[in-house]
Amino acid sequence: MTEKKIFTKILVGVDDSADSQLAFKYAIKRARLEDAELYIVSVLESDDRSVYEALSKAFIHGERAQLVEHVNEYVQQAHEAGVENVFPVIAEGDPGKEIVNTVIPSIKPEVLIVGSLAKKGPKKYLGSQAAYMAKYAPISVLVVR
């Protein structure tokens, strides 16, 4: 009897943090196990720009090109790890909101995998992108620590 796949499409968020790297490694393993498509998303955050940068098309184009190149490096790592169907996704805006409101409805994955460092002290009450996505995403969210 063949086992039914749990996931056919996996979405993983990456941002180069240590917890994001753990999430990416888990997503690769899961995609291989399930023979699932792997979508790797990174979000170009617009909040961190100065007014000059926000108005400069050259700056935004350069920043976006760097992000595309960087996400393609993740795609290459996933291919090298044995995942056949890997797709880069670039979004722009607030990461949590953009992934929940735009990326997930567009791709229609069964699960979102993201990283989240455990926060201690007063910072643990401030919330995080992972908490936002876990609360508002219309699909299952796996938070890796």
Q: Which amino acid is at 111?
A: V
What is the token pair recorded at 35? 């023979």
Query: Would you list the DSSP string of the chain?
Result: -PPPPS-SEEEEE--SSHHHHHHHHHHHHHHHHHT-EEEEEEEE-STT--HHHHH-HHHHHHHHHHHHHHHHHHHHHHHHTT-S-EEEEEEES-HHHHIIIIIHHHH--SEEEEE-PPP-GGGGGS--HHHHHHHH-SSEEEEE-
Is the whole-model pTM more than 0.85? Answer: no
Over the stretch 2-40, which tens digit does the pLDDT of each residue have? 566 789 999 999 988 899 999 999 999 999 999 999 999
Over the stretch 84-104, which tens digit does the pLDDT of each residue have? 999 999 999 999 999 999 999
Over the stretch 104-124, which tens digit does the pLDDT of each residue have? 999 999 999 999 865 554 444
Annotation: CATH topology of 9-144: Rossmann fold (3.40.50)
Predicted local distance difference test score (pLDDT) of residue 48: 52
Over the stretch 36-74, which tens digit does the pLDDT of each residue have? 999 999 999 875 544 444 444 444 445 889 999 999 999
Domains of the chain, residue spans: 9-144
Q: Which amino acid is at 138?
A: P
Predicted local distance difference test score (pLDDT) of residue 126: 41
